[in-house]
Structure 1
């Protein structure tokens, strides 16, 4: 998807806060988007979970270049901009960033739609106070959630390659400590412990144990046996693949009573 350069730069002016004046007496000339210096431009894009960092060049032109890259990412058709661009619009129009007007930001929305309208789109607030995009011709409304079936973006492919390279060279202990434990903490599990991580005699069939509290306040306990490498149903191969019989025995040990308790 492509926008005209002048529209990209006009949208970039809103993002960096070039539009309007702080000392304007006329409401039509006032500033309705916060001014963002180089540091805050970088922070704005970091909050979108991107890796763009302002390089010190002319602010609105640099942002226009980034917008052009975002619009070039995979998307679901000419009426639906890429998901990252939709999230950028939502973040730009956050009620928390209102300036010189109420939280519904009518004048900021009008300025934004003056730009988007030239490309056949309009922004609007939903009942959840998030800002969405609508294609004027088809009335197609974009969604903020990423489509799990879309192609990976260039940045996502690069992160995937980095993760693959790390997993190829990391040890089993590194996998547990650096990947699995932070992952389960992020997912809301509690009391996450690498049981036997240091002393395998304390493992009792599990590398990790943790618990999860349901909305009913019931607690579920989980044990994980982590293996780095392939599993097969035969004996341990010359390449060191752990066999299924070993996993089965460790699962039985995990489910059984802990020695000494």
Structure 2
């Protein structure tokens, strides 16, 4: 005996499970009810527009593609089928390129921003920041092979990444996380012998590689930035000390201090974090 029961919904992120899979989970029913209330309200005001012009969305997809986020990756991030997004860029059968789409679909695509977090982890990107982070860790005594134990590549390949021009996103992310963990640490605390540490430090010095203290978090990925090798106070120290003084003496909030110092709040937070970590290490 066979049944005509509908298959299980693949996910419960939008209205599809309620409409097409007969899903009646409380949260899905609530989502659909909220949608219907919004529709009725907009219909009453005469503002109901279920479809919108596709051109702004198409331009956004082109912007994402230029940044390195493919339409397939955009579809995954937006919770949409790849064919839905592809139809905005390429002719689909005899219908041609879509000229209109549902407003909620447009909102989901427009919500995908051109930021590093949204890049496909296998995509090659500029290796400037990755290269500098690895070189900086070697400059304070961490051998390539030991660093490689914590990265998604073979340890023998770390040396090539440290001098390369392109790197996969997943490797860049892993190196950044490792750098944040080790930049102010003593290699001896990780079981690295002093003689080994001294050897890799000399190697880094012969290559002219800058240590972590020479780089600021907001410039280490900038190909045009130059390391501060000690001629001046490192920028992160200056930012942190100036911000903390503004907060203490003039009652500035962290955002106000960032605005005064002409940096983002995130960059200032990172500078203060590095400054306090440095003080704790020195204590």
Whether the TM-score (by the shorter chain) exceeds 0.5 is no
TM-score, scaled to structure 1: 0.21
Higher relative contact order by CA 8 Å / sep ≥ 6: 1 or 2?
2
TM-score, scaled to structure 2: 0.20
Structure 1 or 2: larger strand share?
A: 1
Structure 1 or 2: larger helix share?
A: 2
